[in-house]
Amino acid sequence: MDKSNFMQLCMVTIFLLIFLSGCSSEPEKIAQNEGINENIVVPEAESVIEKHKDLIPETDDKPTEQVAETLSFSWEKDSDARVVDGSVPLVHKLNDGKVRLYYCKDDIILSAISKDGLTFTKEQGIRISQGTGFESHVCDPTIVDLPGGKMRMYYKGANTMKPGPGSIHKIYSAISSDGLTFQKEGLRIDSETNGDNGWASVPDAIVLSDGRVRIYYVTAAEMQHGIGSAISSDGLNFVKEPGMRVENLVDPALVRIGDRYLLFAASIEERFARVPKGIYYLESSDGLDFSEPVAVFQGDNVYDPSVLKVDDNTVRVFYGKVVPPQKPAVESYTGKIVE
C-alpha cells in the first residue's frame, strides 16, 4: 500500500470511531408527543450548562437592574377638606405662587384661592354661568395659560346631568385675563359630530412642547367607556386623535414629571373598570400610550381628580368626594416620589 492510500484509510477509520462514539451516548431527555411516532430529543438546559461550564467565560459584570415603567410614590392623605359644599375640582398654579381651585356647584363654576395649596378661601362671583341648550349645565373646568398673560378655560356643557339616552355632553371654551372674569368663546368639541357618540365630557387640557394643545376627555367613541383625546394647533379647532388613551377609567388629569406624562383618573363604575373604585395614575412617554393603572388610593364615592405639581418630586391630587349626608367636598392626597 502506498503512502496516500494509507493516509486515506487512517482518516476513514478516525471518522468511523468518532461517529460510533457519538451514537453510543443516550439523549438526556426525550419528549414524545402523544399520537406522533417521532421522538424529539430535548437536552436538559441545566445539564448542558453544567457539562460545558468550563467553556463559559468568567465575567465580573452584574445583572442589569430593569428600570421601573412607572414612578413610585409615597401617598399621604391631607387632613380635612380643601373645599366643602362644592366638588369637581381643577387646580391652577398662578404666576405669583398662589393656587386657584375652580369647582362646581349648582351647575355653575366657582373658585377659591390659596397661598399654600391646602387652605382655600372661596372667592366671590361666578366664573362660568349656565347658558341654554347644551350649556344648561356647566362643570369640569380645565385651564391653559396663553402668551401675553391670558388663560383659556375648557369646560363641559350638558343638556342634562341625568345619565342615559338623550344625555349629551360637549366641550366649550372661555377666555380670561385675570382668571376670574371669563368671556365665553363657543363650542370646541362637538360630541355629536366628532365620533364620540354624544359624549365628550370632563376635559383636561395640556400644552405640548411644540405649542399645540391636547385635550383628554371622557368619550363614548365606538361605544366604549374611557378616555380619548383631541389636538389643536390654535387651541380652538380640535381634531380627534385615533384610538383610546385609557380604557374603562374616566375623569383625566395630566401632569408632566421630567420627560414623562402622568395621567390621573378615576374608577367609578366597576361594571366597566378592571380595578376597584378609587383614584389611579398611569404613565406615558408620549402622552398617547399609557401603562397599567397604579392606585393612589381605593374607595367609594370619589371622582374627578385634578393634580398640582408642588415641585419636581411632589404632586398633590385633589378629587371630588361625596361625604355623609350626601354632601360634596374636595379632598386631597400628597405624593412624594420614592427613589
Whether pLDDT at 201 is above 80:
yes
How many whole angstroms from its chain centre is CA 125?
A: 34
What pLDDT does 11 receive? 45
Nearest to 220 by CA among 238, 200, 240: 200
Fold entry, domain 73-337: Neuraminidase (2.120.10)
How many whole angstroms from its chain centre is CA 56?
A: 44
Structure-derived torsion over alpha carbons of residues 296, 206, 117, 181, reported in degrees to the nearest 10: -140
Whether pLDDT at 76 is above 50:
yes
Write out the H or E segment, with its range, that includes residue 20: helix 3-23
Nearest to 293 by CA among 321, 314, 309, 272: 272
Q: Which residue has the higher pLDDT, 213 or 68?
A: 213
What pLDDT does 263 receive? 98
Where along the chain do its domains lie?
A: 73-337
Instruction: Summarize pLDDT for 290-309 with one digit per residue, the tens.
Output: 999 999 999 999 999 999 99
* 140 contacts 202 by C-beta, under 8 angstroms: yes
Write the single-letter amino acid at 157. G
Q: Which residue has the higher pLDDT, 329 or 161?
A: 329
How many whole angstroms from its chain centre is CA 47?
A: 46
